[in-house]
Copies of this chain bind each other. A is one copy, B any other.
């Protein structure tokens, strides 16, 4: 419905983006103070409240910290605590030495829960199920759900057809077709018993305790693009993360 002709974005987002890229460019390294709220308000012709809104986002992203009376500073991950190393690229590179075998091809279906988690206003989603194999050992069962608007770009991909086997990742297949790039992935990791289907696909007992990883990908407009529900065999997979300063 909405045409792509929407270059306009909130002022606070413009401000936040500018500051983010300046920070990334190293403009405020080594404890250099960022501009004050008043300065930015003048510079952008916005109110102090609007600038605060931008800073609030940057703070919750953990890239700046603020001290009353002193100012705002880019967070130096080198001084105190740790920062996470994992990135979305790491998730994409998962494919290099593993194979994706399609268990059930990409097709339209009704799934209220998946639709709700993707925050769709219909119950219709597109789903595909596959497993990943490493050294001929299947170690993970994944179900991916996509909104219709996203799925239509990959409906004809041979990698997602019945019985296909490739070294792709779904997000890697999708990325080139999306008008806005994937910007974040929210993951939650817990333990869940293998369902009968999962058990059959990864060759374990039903009810076996699995490492369950839910991933929700979104683009830089905060639109949800993909929901991936994975069951990893803990005997063959350990989730590793390095937090660095």
Q: Which residues of A contact B (CB under 8 A)?
A: 31, 56-57, 60-62, 65, 67, 76-77, 79-84, 86-92, 113, 116-117, 119, 175, 181-193, 209-211, 220, 234, 237-245
Query: Is B184 a contact partner of A243 (Cβ separation < 8 A)?
Result: yes
**Knowing A84-B87, A190-B239, A239-B189 touch, does A183 contact B245 (C-beta < 8 A)?**
yes
Q: Which of A92, A116, A190, A220 has the most CB of B within 10 A?
A: A190
Query: Is B88 a contact partner of A80 (Cβ separation < 8 A)?
Result: yes
Tell me the smallest distance from the CB of A90 to a CB of chain B, in Å: 8
Query: Is B65 a contact partner of A119 (Cβ separation < 8 A)?
Result: yes
Query: Is A82 a contact partner of B188 (Cβ separation < 8 A)?
Result: yes
**Knowing A188-B239, A243-B187 touch, does A92 contact B88 (C-beta < 8 A)?**
no
Closest to A234 in B: B191
User: CB-CB < 8 A to A211: which residues of B?
Assistant: 189-191, 211
The interface residues of chain A, by DSSP majority, are classed as: mixed
Closest to A89 in B: B62
**Knowing A62-B87, A62-B88, A86-B241 touch, does A182 contact B81 (C-beta < 8 A)?**
yes
User: CB-CB < 8 A to A175: which residues of B?
Assistant: 80
Closest to A79 in B: B181
Bound-complex Cα distance A86 to B88 (A) = 14
Query: Is B189 a contact partner of A238 (Cβ separation < 8 A)?
Result: yes
Bound-complex Cα distance A190 to B240 (A) = 9
Closest to A193 in B: B209
User: CB-CB < 8 A to A242: which residues of B?
Assistant: 184-187
User: CB-CB < 8 A to A116: which residues of B?
Assistant: 31, 76
User: CB-CB < 8 A to A61: which residues of B?
Assistant: 244
Across the interface, A243 reaches (CB within 8 A) one of B91, B210, B244, namely B91
Query: Is A245 a contact partner of B81 (Cβ separation < 8 A)?
Result: no
Closest to A172 in B: B81
User: CB-CB < 8 A to A238: which residues of B?
Assistant: 188-190
User: CB-CB < 8 A to A87: which residues of B?
Assistant: 62, 83-84, 243-245
Bound-complex Cα distance A12 to B2 (A) = 33
Known contacts A187-B241, A187-B242, A188-B238; 9 further A-B pairs (Cβ under 8 A): A60-B60, A62-B87, A76-B113, A81-B92, A82-B183, A84-B243, A87-B244, A87-B245, A211-B211
